[in-house]
Chains A and B, each alone.
Chain A
Amino acid sequence: MTHFTRRDVFKISAGGVAVASGMVAMPSILRAATYPSRPINVIVPFATGGYNDRLSRAFMPYLEQELGQPLVIVNKPGAGTQLGNSYALNQPADGYSILCTSAAPYIPLTVLLQNAPYKVEDFSMINLPSRDYTLAATSSGGPVQTFAEVLEKLKKDPSSLSIGVQPASADYANMVLAFQAAGIDASKLRIVTYDGGGPARNATAGAQVDVGFVGGEGFLPLKSKVRPLAIFAAEKVDWYPDAPLIGATLKTDFVEGSQRGWAVSTKLKNEQPEIFKILVAAVEKASKNPKAIETLKLQELATTWYGPDASNKAYLDNAAKMAKYVDLLK
């Protein structure tokens, strides 16, 4: 049996306090030196099974390999990513919570249309490998053959074709911009709204609507059931090469579609630059791992490395364009 004198107890507790206060006051360099020392949460603001969930799970083993710590995927779906985004910002900025999300257009949209309690600049991108574009398509058996035909018909009679689209989305903005550029009376269009890309795609493939404006990537499994009319991208899209570019038919401004990938809070980037660097390096290495590229490609998931600067720029450009055209979305 050991006997503690009062002095010993004082010494021990004083030491404890000193250690504890040392930890609190530990400079960020020191914290970064031990980072990561425990599992890291990956917050996915979508339900299990969506693109971001699949991306995070497929990429997980390669990122774990670089970071040397296990990753835990936390699905926080709801309110167009607003719940998950708020949750992510409420976590301590210590590098143990990172986001895998469709940063654009969801973050700008929640800010512009839902008065979300954060700013677009509160999030900093690490890498956004997946870039989606709005695709105007029709059912493969449908009578319409080209986008020019669509514009011509609608110019004559705006109610001659029905249009399927998700409201308050990049696709919606692109649809309105294209019709404005073509001089079509938008007030008489028969627009059918769908609460998600999936239902809008089904309606297009099933010829329930004549033309659908939806993110193109989701059409890939249904490729044989639809005819692509125009894709809202500046250059040929490598995952849908047979989709004609919008620029070929019509001169119009457009918004890029979903940009999905890895992000953190800007607070972390500013307060813990060392940790941010470690995360960036790990994502870069994992993205360039040939095995990761091969595995993710088989699952139709993107691994392209753009880096934090290019990704952030793409994200902020998208946000600025969304803000510019916000009146079209309401």
Chain B
Amino acid sequence: MIDVSAFNDALGIMFTSVGSWGWIVPGLIVGLVFSAIPGISITMAMAIVLPMSLYMDFFSAIVFLTSVYTGAGFGGSVPAILMNIPGSPSSFATTFDGYAMSQKGEHNEALGYALFASTLCGIAGYVLLLLVIEPLADIVLRIGPVEMFAVAIWGMMLLGSLGSTYISRGLLAAALGILLGTVGMNTAGFTRGTLGLPVLLDGIAPIPAMIGLLAASQLLSLASRDYIIEAEGSREVSLRKILKGCWGTLKYPGVLLRGSIIGIIIGAVPGVGSSIGNLIAYAETKRTAKDSATFGKGNPKGVIAAESAVASGEGGSMATMLALGIPGGGATAILIAAFMMHNIVPGPSFIETQKPMVYAIILNNIVQAIVLLAVGIGFIYVASNIMKVRTRYVLPAILVIATLGTFAVTGEAAGPITLFVFALLGYALNRYQYPVSAVVVGILLGRMLETEFLRSYQLSGGNPLYVLERPGAMAIFAVMFISLAMTAWGKRKQNRAEAAEALAMRQIQEETRAAHTTPSKG
């Protein structure tokens, strides 16, 4: 639990280093802008600014970098909602309902929902972190391959909620995605599907691949229009509507809570990163919602669920980093480097000896989330004006920026080439009505599925009963099956009711028809 005297010292650090607060706003803006550019992930945004932070003092550097992290957590959802192109993999699930809302002319509200969900759950994540940082870290370290495999399977269940016209094509597309996700050298050192190209040894870069798949289909469909939204009246940018969306978020506390819990736990697990939490939170929210049929057609709950998991995952990831010195994902790996470059090694001894500093970092992140609210509204307001620009100017600009984004970070042609190849694939998939999003889910989860399954197999020596020794894994599977069974039961009841209703309707129809036809025949 919280250590009161350390907490007071932390407040002291916060207020004696007021100068470092000045880095919050620039950090947030850098994070927002970079992650809103398709092709640049949160990790890359932080890698770009890391060398800059070397010239600041320790607390300022950490404030700046964590602000970039906080801003980047939200920035990706802006292109996701406005254009159906996720700025980074963690905002993939935001596209499902966010873009549908903006097509209905509700982009202002959608961005408001996303921003508020992001801020609230960001704060929730850090408050929880303040209370349970040490026990959480110990639990996280105990999560093994079997548990992770269960989580990956859970993520795959999102496929069921993507909804495509043909089930067979959906499954085939997912299988293709998983296959693509396993390209490269696997955890046991075997190399598959690299075509002899050294750049593919680490696998297909997920970000250019995802942007290629999604952007190609999306940009081509936009090219036939004059503006992103066709109805002229809907293209307005309204502060009132953004605020209405913000306010509306509070109507769904259950969605926020579920998203936060999923986000924190998945974010805290080392090596998973933020791109899976949003998928699971979305799928769970959709499956348990009464109005699940409207998901994917512009249900604000979809946006809230996805964004809440991304924002709270940040807190979880920071917990693992501070308490154990282990990166939860790419972004916290950069943060650890920044700590070490300032001669501080995060980990168990850091948290024991420097608790006030740990609390000060967490408190500062809460402040950042609050500041994000103001900066984010401004950012949304400016970014939404893209709706008023003709697509003939927007599309080429986005293509160029996305290509540059995939090139800039490594300076290798591999990024743009991946983008191009996957754009062609995306076009072909779309042309023959295979769901592109199923391929993306496969690419994002394929490697994790394979790695964790392989490790579970190695650990158990091939004995499936090993799962009985892992209560954590059993609990995850149990929750998953119960939740599935309950949905199936609910669906069955609903179907029966509908069938009965349809039967009754048909009977009435037949009776009336009978009443009409018999006399005319005679």
Contacts and interface: CB of A to CB of B under 8 A. Distances in A.
Contacts of B334: 48-49
B239 to A, nearest CB: 38
B487 interface: no
B143 interface: yes
Contacts of A114: 191, 198, 201
A150 to B, nearest CB: 17
Contacts of A77: 410
A195 B185 contact: yes
Given A57-B51, A86-B198, A300 B337 contact: no
B449 interface: no
B462 to A, nearest CB: 9
A224 interface: yes
A76 B47 CA distance: 13
A209 B144 CA distance: 9
A199 B271 contact: yes
B454 A208 contact: no
Interface in A140-180: 159, 162, 167-168
Given A162-B459, A190-B461, A193-B455, A82 B341 contact: no
B201 A208 contact: no
B518 interface: no
A168 B201 CA distance: 14
Interface in B342-361: 343, 345-349
Interface string A214-231: 000000111111000000
Contacts of B347: 221-222
B189 A78 contact: no
A108 B324 CA distance: 32
B50 A49 contact: yes
A272 interface: no
B339 to A, nearest CB: 10
Interface in A170-210: 190-195, 198-199, 202-203, 205-209
A76 B334 CA distance: 16
A79 interface: yes
Given A78-B199, A193-B455, A208 B142 contact: yes
A78 B340 contact: no
B349 A224 contact: yes
Given A57-B51, A208-B459, A222-B325, A195 B340 contact: no
Report the contact-size class of chain A (Cβ under 8 Å from the partner): 35 or more
Nearest to A224: B348
B54 interface: yes
Contact of A167 (B140, B188, B325, B411): B188
A73 interface: yes
Contacts of B412: 76, 83
B56 interface: no
Contact of A54 (B187, B324, B341): B341
A195 B187 contact: yes
B451 A221 contact: no
Contacts, number: 129
Interface in A69-87: 73-80, 82-83, 86
Given A57-B54, A224-B348, A191 B458 contact: yes
A57 B337 CA distance: 11
B337 A205 contact: no
A282 interface: no
Given A168-B189, A225-B348, A53 B337 contact: yes
Contacts of A79: 198-199, 201-202
A78 to B, nearest CB: 5
A148 B278 CA distance: 47
A110 to B, nearest CB: 9
Contact of A49 (B142, B336, B345, B454): B336
Contacts of A190: 458-461
A50 B330 CA distance: 11
A58 interface: yes
A197 B191 CA distance: 19
A47 interface: yes
Contacts of A57: 51, 54, 341
A5 interface: no
B270 A202 contact: yes
A185 to B, nearest CB: 13
B337 A221 contact: no
B141 A83 contact: no
Contact of B202 (A78, A167, A220): A78
Interface in A274-330: 295, 298-300
Interface string B350-378: 00000000000000000000000000000
A297 to B, nearest CB: 9
Interface in B177-235: 185-189, 191, 198-199, 201-202
A266 B196 CA distance: 26
B333 interface: yes
Nearest to A79: B201
A194 B187 contact: yes
A113 B185 CA distance: 12
Given A49-B337, A192-B458, A202-B326, A225 B141 contact: yes
Nearest to B462: A190
Nearest to A50: B337
Contacts of A47: 47, 333
Contact of A195 (B142, B341, B346, B451): B451
B267 interface: no
Interface in B314-336: 324-327, 333-334, 336
B98 interface: no
B300 to A, nearest CB: 37
A57 B324 CA distance: 24
A223 B142 CA distance: 17
Contact of B141 (A86, A191, A205, A300): A205
B145 interface: yes
Contacts of B349: 221, 223-224
Contacts of A76: 410-412
A37 to B, nearest CB: 24
A208 B458 contact: no
B202 A58 contact: no
A221 B349 CA distance: 8
B449 to A, nearest CB: 14
Interface string B27-53: 000000000000000000001001100
Among the interface residues B54, B198, B411, which one has the most CB atoms of the partner chain A within 10 A? B198
B325 A202 contact: no
Nearest to B350: A221
Nearest to A192: B458
B345 A221 contact: yes
A130 B19 CA distance: 37
Contacts of A75: 47, 410
A163 B120 CA distance: 42
Contacts of B140: 206
Given A78-B198, A80-B201, A224-B348, A206 B144 contact: yes
Contacts of A53: 337
A180 to B, nearest CB: 19
Contacts of B271: 198-199, 202
A206 to B, nearest CB: 3
6 contacts: A48-B334, A54-B337, A77-B410, A78-B202, A83-B412, A167-B189
Interface of B: 47, 50-51, 54, 140-145, 185-189, 191, 198-199, 201-202, 270-271, 324-327, 333-334, 336-337, 340-341, 343, 345-349, 410-412, 451, 454-455, 458-461
> Which 4 residue pairs are nearest across A and B when measured between Cβ atoms?
A49-B337, A167-B189, A206-B141, A221-B347
Given A50-B337, A222-B347, 4 more contacts: A49-B337, A195-B451, A221-B324, A222-B326
